[in-house]
Amino acid sequence: MDLELNHSFSLYSVTLVVLLLIFSCTPAEGNFRVIGSPETIVAALGDDTILPCHVEPQIDVTGLTVEWSKPDLKPDPNDRLRRVEYVHLYRDAREDLDMKIAEYVKRTELFADGLTRGNISLKITNVTFEDEGRYQCFIPKLKSHFKSSIIYLYVEPKSVTTETPLQTPDPKEKIDINEVCAGEVLITAVCVSALLTILTAVVFAVYWRHKLQKQEINREPVKGALHKGHVERC
């Protein structure tokens, strides 16, 4: 009976250790992250441009809110609520114009087909010098600690040699994703190695303890028989 209890307790200990290791190596939030272009986006005056930004790994964001803003823009001092307007606000599966910056009206759009694949890149038409600066793409309800990213737009004068490439970013193409996720991969590898090592050690310890206890039980009848024979001879 004692052997069965000890064996059950040992299995419970192994299970508890495994669960603790799994939870310690698993982020509290999802593994999604918003990734913008790490390179400065250069656009010529009057051209159209795209600010690349997407969610990695891919996820359908058509039902989420997507905010594009200029983080360096200060709120209107005459606004008692101190609200900051948006370059582009996607909410309830459509563009919300209520809080849009007037200068960007009818000049911005998301790629409807790309939203199902996590592509939240912003297209800006007829670029002006006032458009230059930092832009933030942000998904407030994304289950992640990395809900936003910053992209910098530089506007240069129009010239004969100036060519602004206009291509829809493919979210399948990772933007320095190996460098971005290198830390996560290393942590995962360390956790897996530690888990396997500890699990192997615990299983071996349980097996060895079980073997010793079994040998001890097998010795008891032999000891009893020897003691009984000694008594009878006396």
Token pair belonging to 218: 């097998």
What pLDDT is attached to residue 10? Answer: 54
Bridge partners, residue 108, by sequence: 124
- Report pLDDT for 133: 97
> Which residues does the chain have with pLDDT short of 70?
1-30, 160-192, 218-234
Could you give the CA distance from residue 215 to residue 209 in angstroms, rounded to a whole number? Answer: 10
Whole-prediction pTM: 0.61
The per-residue pLDDT for 173 is: 46
How high is the mean pLDDT of the chain? 77
Q: Which residues pair with 69 in a beta bridge?
A: 136
- Does residue 38 sit in helix, strand or coil? coil
In three-state form (DSSP H/G/I as H, E/B as E, the rest C), the secondary structure along 169-232 is: CCCCCCCCHHHHCHHHHHHHHHHHHHHHHHHHHHHHHHHHHHHHHHHHHHHHHHHHHHHHHHHH
Q: Which helix (H) or strand (E) holds 126?
A: none
C-beta neighbour count of 136 within 10 angstroms: 20
Task: Give the chain's domains with CATH numbers.
Answer: 33-156 (2.60.40.10)
Q: Which pLDDT value is given to residue 177? A: 43
Extract the tokens encoding 32. 């999604």
Output the pLDDT for position 66: 98
User: For 114-141, what is each residue's pLDDT tens digit?
Assistant: 999 999 999 999 999 999 999 999 999 9
